[in-house]
Each structure stands twice: as structure tokens, then as C-alpha cells.
């Protein structure tokens, strides 16, 4: 199965470039942008190596942020979060879809995404084609009961930094 099309990669590269171009001074200095930015190919290669943990932040009705550690699948150059349709994060997204997501390994890599989450329900083609590893038994049980959904993060800005970009394949 093709996880990312050439058009997906081109669109992601354009987003990464726009994000770097619009980054503020502090972000550019801290993350040494654009010199230490990863390319779309490097980023997709990294997330395909093995499952990665991310933190996703949603917003409560009171405007308070809520962050949760979750596993993510990077498919068609977008992050997908498997979760329960009755979870608080889904409730937040239904009313306030603004979402941020981050993944990092200290002094190795940092990925920051700001965008909007969309709920992908069973029956949608994207829901059916996404492969979640068998070891995620909680997800397969939830899905079998018809209570599993995916949150797809539609990125508006995305930053991908590496201390040494040459160490990431896909250059």
C-alpha cells in the first residue's frame, strides 16, 4: 500500500517551506531554521520507521488546553490519531477543532503541528485503508464495537527540526 503519493509529498514540502518562511524570530533562532529543517521525504521516512508517540492538545469549552500522549499513524503525510468516539478529545474537536501536536526526542528531532482536527468515522475510505498495528489490541477491540474513530490533523503550519538533518534518510 502506498502511504504517501508524490503529490502528498509535494504538498507537505510546500507546507514545511511556508511554515519556515512565516516562522517568528525566536522559532527561527531556536530551531536554526531553515538550516536544520527536515524535508518532507525525511519526515515521512522517519515516521514510517516505527510507531511514534506524540502529544496532542485540544481545547476545552472554557478555552483551556488539554494535552494527551498518544500513538499516531502518519498516512498520506498527515497525522492520524486512533481514539474512542466517546473520548473527551473527540468532544473537544467536535466543538473546537483547533489542535496542536508535537513529537520530539531531546537534541535529536522536534516536530510541531498546528491545525484543525477532523473526525474520520468507520465506513469512510480513509478509515478503512489505515493500518493500525495488531499489537494495539485496545484499538481493534474498540473498532470491533463500532466505537473507534480517527482524528486526522489537517496542518496549517508544520515545523520539522533535526539537530543533524543528514542523519535522517530521504535526503
Report the pLDDT value the prediction gives residue 48, as an integer from 0 to 100.
Answer: 86
Q: Is 113 in contact with 100 (CB distance < 8 Å)? A: yes
Instruction: Encode pLDDT of 89-112 as tens digits.
Output: 999 999 999 999 999 999 999 999
User: What single-letter DSSP state applies at residue 5?
Assistant: -
Where do the structural domains in the chain lie, given as residue ranges? 6-167
Instruction: Encode pLDDT of 60-75 as tens digits.
Output: 999 999 999 999 989 8
Report the pLDDT value the prediction gives residue 124, as an integer from 0 to 100.
Answer: 83
CATH 3.40.50.2300 fits 6-167, yes or no: no
CA angle 63, 66, 71 (to 5 degrees): 145
On the CB side of 9, CA atoms within 13 Å amount to: 15
Stated length of the chain: 171
Amino acid at each position: 500500500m502506498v502511504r504517501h503519493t508524490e503529490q502528498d509529498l509535494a504538498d507537505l514540502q510546500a507546507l514545511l517551506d511556508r511554515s519556515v518562511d512565516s516562522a517568528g524570530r525566536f522559532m527561527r533562532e531556536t530551531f536554526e531554521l531553515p538550516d536544520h529543517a527536515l524535508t518532507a521525504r525525511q519526515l515521512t521516512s522517519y515516521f514510517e520507521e516505527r510507531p511514534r508517540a506524540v502529544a496532542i492538545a485540544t481545547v476545552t469549552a472554557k478555552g483551556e488546553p488539554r494535552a494527551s500522549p498518544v500513538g499516531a499513524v502518519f498516512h498520506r503525510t498527515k497525522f492520524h490519531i486512533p481514539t474512542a468516539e466517546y473520548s473527551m478529545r473527540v468532544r473537544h474537536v467536535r466543538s473546537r477543532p483547533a489542535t496542536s501536536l508535537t513529537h520530539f526526542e531531546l537534541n535529536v528531532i522536534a516536530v510541531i503541528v498546528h491545525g484543525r482536527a477532523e473526525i474520520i468515522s468507520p465506513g469512510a475510505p480513509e478509515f478503512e485503508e489505515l493500518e493500525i498495528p495488531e499489537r494495539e489490541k485496545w484499538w481493534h477491540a474498540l473498532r470491533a464495537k463500532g466505537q473507534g474513530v480517527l482524528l486526522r490533523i489537517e496542518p496549517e503550519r508544520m515545523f520539522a527540526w533535526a539537530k543533524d538533518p543528514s542523519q535522517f534518510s530521504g535526503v
